[in-house]
Structure 1
Amino acid sequence: MTHTITVRDVGHVTEIVFSNPPNNHANVALLREIGETLLALDEQPDCRAIVLASEGKAFCAGADLANDKAGGGVGGSGDDPVREFYDQALQIYAVKKPIVAAVQGAAVGAGLGLAVAADFRVAAPEARFVANFTRLAFHPGFALSATLPRLLGEQKAALMLLTSRRIKGDEAFTMGLADELVPLAEVRSAAHRLAAEIAEGGPLGIMSTRQTLRAGLYDTVRAALEHEHAEQWKLRATADHKEGILSVAERRPGRFTGK
């Protein structure tokens, strides 16, 4: 494994920075480490808000489907690596403290799901938010079929999910996908400012309010992951999905046949 996670405290804000060069692809081990680190902070009274960031050009370029076909690009150890992957994704939704994602570059597929799992997103104009599943002849995952409509409304979410369109940082800010838009060099510091503003409140009140605002979200995500997993399991063996993976790797339109 090449990924690493670093954790540092800045007052009542804790920063988690993950790295999996070159594109910060998500896998089971990385998500497990992120989730366990986040959940451990629930037990740290001095932590009142969290900044989730990554090193490098991309925030998280999704699962590396092109380079790990046998494991679905997610690094699972058993017969159902996607299930293992989603078990770790669900863990992130069990966290009790608010999270601000610092999105400096591409947040694609599972990377988009990770960004949307946060309470807020601070982005640069260079950021790219992409639900690229239909370009892979696949069904959306990481509970995005539930969380993206909750965040953007059904129409805007449908546009992203059905077109696989790349949403630039400024457009993401306009449509509400990003909460703040700042120059690239200021993304992480701006995320810290927002997290510090949240952390000025009473910690019990912060967690109580967040629990109210996100009421039912964990169960919604769990149900969405189960449905998405079933749909992806059906589609993963199709010729179109294999063509979708190949076409994305070769940077060309897919030649799909509906089979």
Structure 2
Amino acid sequence: MAKTKKSARATLPPSIGKVLKRLHHPLDVILLCVRWYVAYSLSLRNLEEMMAERGLEVDHSSVHRWVIKLVPLFEKAFRKHKRPVGKSWRMDETYVKVRGQWKYLYRAVDKAGNTVDFLLRAHRDKAAARRYFEKAIDRNGEPETITVDKSGANLAALEALNADRPTPIKVRQSKYLNNVVEQDHRAIKRIIKPMMGFKDFRCARIILAGIEVMHMIRKGQMQDDGIARNPAEKFYSIII
């Protein structure tokens, strides 16, 4: 983060440099705002004021634009460095408001509390749950056990999934065993609270992905390359 604007941008991968080409603020300011927005309970206007206190004129709409452009690149890059998760998953969905309506963020953690995967869906039903399980298994491998709550939709999705598998995944329904994922939801909900709901489904999906990536980094889910780094440095190292 100590590099100059010109030299820092010159060393970025082409895909990142292309996105940043039309963004004219210093690179360290852009990355700082993006990280703070997905790491802490801050609104866009909070960040605008915080930058102003540092003598930097940054409009809140610019911060939003940076987040939407850069977070997908951070998420894609992070996937290459994500540690493998355990074979026993706890899955649950939580509510997220988009354009004044409740949408559903499907999430799972392993028994150690590591995030398996996440997916924002418009509906809470069998199709949404199955899509989540398919995505999570595709990216993280097949688990031995999945624990869900008493939701009939989640159970139906797993039963449909198992019907196509030579070795079925063991399914458990237990509210008590799912406490670990319900507790983990709180870290995500705490960050989005100042945002007062999302205005657009696509933007919600992108911002939630950034929050999830930062949450996983804090939990130590990024593979260590032998260099001691704090969570902020790990976040920046994904693309720099």
TM-score by structure 1 length?
0.24
**Per residue, is there more helix in 1 or in 2?**
2
Give the structure with higher Rg (CA).
2
